Amino acid sequence: MRVLIVEDERSMALEMEAFLKNASYLCDLAFTARQGLKQMEESAYDFILLDLGLPDKDGLEVLQQAKKCCPEASYIILTARGDLEDRIKGLDLGADDYLPKPFSLLELLSRIQAITRRKSGWKDSVMELGEFLFDMRHRRIMFGKEEVPLSKKEFDLLHYLVLHKNRPLTRLQLSEHIWGSFSDDDYDSNYIDVHIKNIRKKLSAFASAEWLQTIRGIGYKIKAVD
Amino acid sequence: MKLINKLTLFITLSKLVIVLLFVGLLPKLVHEAAARFTDNSLREQQKKVVREVAQRGIDFYLQGEDSYGSYTLLKEEYISLEPGTRPSALPADTIETAMRIVEGDTLNYRVLTHTITYQGKPYILEIGKQESVINRFSRPLQKIALSVLIALVIITILADLIYTRFLLKPLGVIIRSKLVNTQFPFTEKMSLVKTSTSDFQYLDQSLTTLMEKIHRDFEKEREFTSNASHELMTPITILQNRMENLLSEGKLEDEAFLRVEGMMKTLNRLKQIVRSLLLISRIENDQYTKKDIVKIRELLNDVIEELHHRLEGKGLSLSLALSSSMQLSQVNRDLLFQLFYNIINNAIRYNKDNGRITISDSYILGGKYLITISDTGIGIPVNEIASIFERFRKSAHSTEESHGLGLSIVKSIADYHGITLQVRSTPGEGSQFDIVFPWQLVKE
């Protein structure tokens, strides 16, 4: 998978690049709109991560132009402005997703994966976890023919761990994913433990779920074969 | 009172005064006019007699008699010519109202007395006209004059009213188009109202200029918010991403890992503060639409579901007892969600283990709708109640992560929608939040 990161903040672009490289993506960087558009013409990309606040051109205009030269690519808009208007306009112009800054790299990666999965016609959207089958398309986890009755939040939590399997996720990262959209004035990641406890209870009614591991002092991890 | 009504009142009253004045003066005027007219005609007759006497001699009238007298059939007029007796006492030349006895009837006459000297001898000429005849037409005349006047006054009043209405129309247009129907921020381009009245042109021009200035300032403010958020959010993102990379690369010792995680937690607090401040500033800058229709029961259920884990974690019981299937219109759903989320979240956070939260509703006077959220928590000290909505307020009981913006957000959202908030609390027993929706938002 080839990704073009168009972002004027160099250190941010570099962090994104490092993270995505680690997740086996090939990354190119562009720090201006002009540079980005030039690179789009030169090579084909699967993903274009586009910052809307570029110094040399209005982000939405860049998106419009980019869509013309690379209609095949998937676009994720990154913006710090967080205006609802930008988001609607961006999605109207054909962006596949929208991430308001500050965002977590895990969140970025899971959005990329979700788009990939959707565009590939849900290829590889079912995953084996011990004796369970995790079905991302239909948002359920099956034991044989029975569905494990998880709540929406519990499924989201498990889904996030599955997307980042074999990587320990901290309680903070998990709760940010689940409740991050609220300007809540406190933040108690201990509630993640409550959720995990419930998930474990529900799973163990069917079979053991040793693949859902606690990393002492840090958080949780799902162990699965790649 | 409206200007147009004031003008109408003034016009009508002033015309009324004129009519009254006229009605008061009319009899006197008519009487005066009739008297003058009568006097003139008496003089004419006198001249005629004097001429006759000069041409044909006094005997033309006297016919050898001592005196001459004649009156019309209905005694409306009479004429008499008598020799004067004592010349020194003779009335010279007068016109006056006096009583005369004619054929046994005592009648009121307007009498002209004139002394004619003929061949050295004085003769007294009297010509009389009956008063009732003189005043016969005064009443109908007055009536006619009065009705003509009233007709004229009504016509002028109507003309005045139509014209003032026409004249003041631009004012109404200015108020409606520039003030009442415009919503802050004034994004629409203002066009000048067409009027030839320079005062209104001036008013319109000044208003337009003022609003353009406000609009420009607002745009600047909005730009600032947008820029500030960008400037703050970008470094936060960089820090967060860098820490995430550190954590995910798996090269850190356990100790370092925990420290980086601690840094992320701190950064997260910073992020929440910036986000909250931005949210408040966006609400205050009117950047949210209020076009949603919200079913209150569904909204509260969503909030409760979102907070379910916290309720469970503290073993709290929550009862949602709504009496109606109320809907709110012209609101922003996300903001109302946030409002209830923050209040209920507080009710959870400051509750005792295994405590209770009750949500109920009722209609109150004036079609308003009230939602009450009460808890069995630690309550709010009396001296803190007044300041709980202030930014960065922290009570002695606040948790470490709290940044004291939750209720400020609630307040901003409430103000933005015209919602009133009331808080009551008994320390040690619990708090109660009353959320009063104005009737404009209530839709059954």
Q: Does B409 touch chain A (CB under 8 A)?
A: yes
Q: What is the mean pLDDT of residues B174-197?
A: 75
For residues A95 and A23, state if they share a domain. yes
For residues A110 and A8, state if they share a domain. yes
Question: Domain boundary at B284, B317, B332, which?
Answer: B284
Average pLDDT, chain B: 85
ipTM: 0.82
What is the predicted pLDDT for the residue at B420?
92
pLDDT band at B402 (very low <50, low <70, confident <90, very high): low
What is the predicted pLDDT for the residue at A182?
56
What is the predicted pLDDT for the residue at A186?
47
What is the predicted pLDDT for the residue at A58?
85
What is the predicted pLDDT for the residue at B444?
63
Longest dimension (CA), chain A: 58
- The closest alpha carbon to B251, from A18, A160, A111, A159, belongs to A18
The residues in B 218-247 lying below 8 A from A, measured between CB atoms, are 226, 229-230, 233-234, 236-238, 240-242, 244-245, 247
In a domain, B182, yes or no: no
What is the predicted pLDDT for the residue at B401?
55
Residue B328 to residue B416: CA distance in whole angstroms: 14
Residue B259 to residue B199: CA distance in whole angstroms: 71
- Judge whether B318 and B304 are in contact, CB under 8 Å: yes
For residues B297 and B437, state if they share a domain. yes
pLDDT band at A108 (very low <50, low <70, confident <90, very high): very high
3-state secondary structure of B259: helix
What is the predicted pLDDT for the residue at B424?
92
Residue environment code for B203-212, b if the CB has 16+ CB neighbours within 10 A, otherwise e: bbeebbeebe
pLDDT at residue B87 is higher than 60: no
Q: Which residue of B has its CA nearest to A153?
A: B306
Question: In percent, how much of chain A has pLDDT > 70?
Answer: 93
What is the predicted pLDDT for the residue at A220?
92
Question: Domain boundary at B284, B316, B335, which?
Answer: B284
For testing the chain A interface, which of B248, B254, B261 should be mutated: the one with the most A CBs within 10 Å?
Answer: B248
For residues B280 and B250, state if they share a domain. yes
For residues A115 and A163, state if they share a domain. no
What is the predicted pLDDT for the residue at B431?
93
Compute CA distances B153 → A74, B26, B113, B141, whole Å.
Answer: 81, 16, 44, 18
- The closest alpha carbon to B119, from B80, B161, B62, belongs to B62
A200's tokens:
């474990």
Q: What is the mean pLDDT of residues A156-166?
A: 89
Q: Which CATH number is A197's domain given?
A: 1.10.10.10
For residues B257 and B297, state if they share a domain. no
Q: Does B122 touch chain A (CB under 8 A)?
A: no
- The closest alpha carbon to A191, from A206, A177, A211, A207, belongs to A177
For residues A114 and A138, state if they share a domain. no
Contact A186 B401 (CB under 8 A): yes
Distance separating the N- and C-terminal Cα atoms of chain B: 35
Contact A217 B310 (CB under 8 A): no
Question: Domain boundary at A91, A119, A147, which?
Answer: A119
Q: Does B187 touch chain A (CB under 8 A)?
A: no
pLDDT at residue B398 is higher than 80: no
For residues A134 and A107, state if they share a domain. no
pLDDT digits (tens, 9 = 90+) for B343-367: 999 899 889 999 999 999 998 888 8
Q: Which residue has the tokens 């009739």?
A: B34
Q: How many CB pairs lie under 8 A apart between chains A and B?
A: 124
Q: What is the mean pLDDT of residues B276-304?
A: 87
Q: Does B177 touch chain A (CB under 8 A)?
A: no
Q: Which CATH number is A64's domain given?
A: 3.40.50.2300
For residues B324 and B213, state if they share a domain. no
Contact A187 B338 (CB under 8 A): no
Please name the residues in contact with B155: beta carbons below 8 A apart, sequence gap of 6 or more. Answer: none
In a domain, B226, yes or no: yes
Q: Does B256 touch chain A (CB under 8 A)?
A: no
In a domain, B36, yes or no: yes
pLDDT at residue A50 is higher than 90: yes
pLDDT at residue B184 is higher than 70: no
- The closest alpha carbon to A59, from A84, A28, A37, belongs to A37
Q: How many structural domains comprise chain B?
A: 3
Q: How many structural domains comprise chain A?
A: 2
Chain A residues closer than 8 Å to B247 by CB: 170
Contact A167 B309 (CB under 8 A): no
For residues B296 and B276, state if they share a domain. no
pLDDT digits (tens, 9 = 90+) for B41-68: 999 998 998 898 888 888 888 888 888 8
For residues A76 and A135, state if they share a domain. no
For residues B353 and B412, state if they share a domain. yes
- The closest alpha carbon to B225, from B288, B277, B185, belongs to B277
For testing the chain B interface, which of A185, A189, A218 should be mutated: the one with the most B CBs within 10 Å?
Answer: A185
Q: Which residue has the higher pLDDT, A26 or B282?
A: A26
For residues A101 and A130, state if they share a domain. no
The residues in A 146-205 lying below 8 A from B, measured between CB atoms, are 151, 153, 167, 170, 172-173, 176, 179, 182-188, 190-191, 194-195
Q: Which CATH number is B365's domain given?
A: 3.30.565.10
Q: Which residue of B has its CA nearest to A7?
A: B234
pLDDT band at A226 (very low <50, low <70, confident <90, very high): low
What is the predicted pLDDT for the residue at B340?
95
What is the predicted pLDDT for the residue at B188?
65
In a domain, B59, yes or no: yes
In a domain, B244, yes or no: yes
Chain B residues closer than 8 Å to A102 by CB: 233, 236-237, 240, 271
Question: Domain boundary at A119, A153, A175, which?
Answer: A119
For residues B439 and B300, state if they share a domain. yes
- Judge whether B442 and B326 are in contact, CB under 8 Å: yes
Give ∠ CA A8-A10-A11 in degrees, rounded to 5.
135
Q: Does B324 touch chain A (CB under 8 A)?
A: no
Q: Which domain holds residue A64?
A: 2-119
Question: Domain boundary at B94, B109, B138, which?
Answer: B138
Q: What is the mean pLDDT of residues B122-137?
A: 85
Contact A183 B242 (CB under 8 A): no
Q: Which domain holds residue B108?
A: 3-138
Residue B336 to residue B292: CA distance in whole angstroms: 10
In a domain, B278, yes or no: yes
3-state secondary structure of A114: helix
pLDDT at residue B216 is higher than 80: yes
For residues B271 and B325, state if they share a domain. no
For residues B280 and B300, state if they share a domain. no
What is the predicted pLDDT for the residue at B141?
83
Of B230, B242, B279, the CB nearest to A53: B230
Residue B105 to residue B90: CA distance in whole angstroms: 26
pLDDT at residue A215 is higher than 60: yes
pLDDT band at B134 (very low <50, low <70, confident <90, very high): confident
What is the predicted pLDDT for the residue at B414?
93
The residues in A 32-71 lying below 8 A from B, measured between CB atoms, are 53
3-state secondary structure of B192: coil
pLDDT band at A185 (very low <50, low <70, confident <90, very high): very low
For residues A207 and A188, state if they share a domain. yes
Q: Does B342 touch chain A (CB under 8 A)?
A: yes
For residues B246 and B336, state if they share a domain. no
Query: Of A115-129, B7-21, B135-149, where does the model show the most confidence?
Result: B7-21
What is the predicted pLDDT for the residue at B221?
76
Average pLDDT, chain A: 86
For residues B236 and B267, state if they share a domain. yes
In a domain, B75, yes or no: yes
For residues B125 and B62, state if they share a domain. yes
pLDDT at residue B317 is higher than 90: yes
B231's tokens:
């400037």
What is the predicted pLDDT for the residue at B347?
92
Q: Which residue has the higher pLDDT, B185 or B20?
A: B20
In a domain, B423, yes or no: yes
For residues A112 and A197, state if they share a domain. no
pLDDT band at A18 (very low <50, low <70, confident <90, very high): very high
- Judge whether B107 and B134 are in contact, CB under 8 Å: no
A28's tokens:
């190119």
For residues A15 and A34, state if they share a domain. yes
pLDDT band at B399 (very low <50, low <70, confident <90, very high): low
Question: Domain boundary at A85, A119, A153, which?
Answer: A119
Chain B residues closer than 8 Å to A186 by CB: 345, 349, 399, 401-402, 406
Distance of CA B1 to the CA centre of its chain: 6
Flag the least confident range among A63-67, A170-174, B78-82: A170-174
For residues A99 and A130, state if they share a domain. no
Contact B309 A194 (CB under 8 A): yes
For residues A79 and A183, state if they share a domain. no
Chain A residues closer than 8 Å to B233 by CB: 80, 82, 101-102
Q: Does B314 touch chain A (CB under 8 A)?
A: no
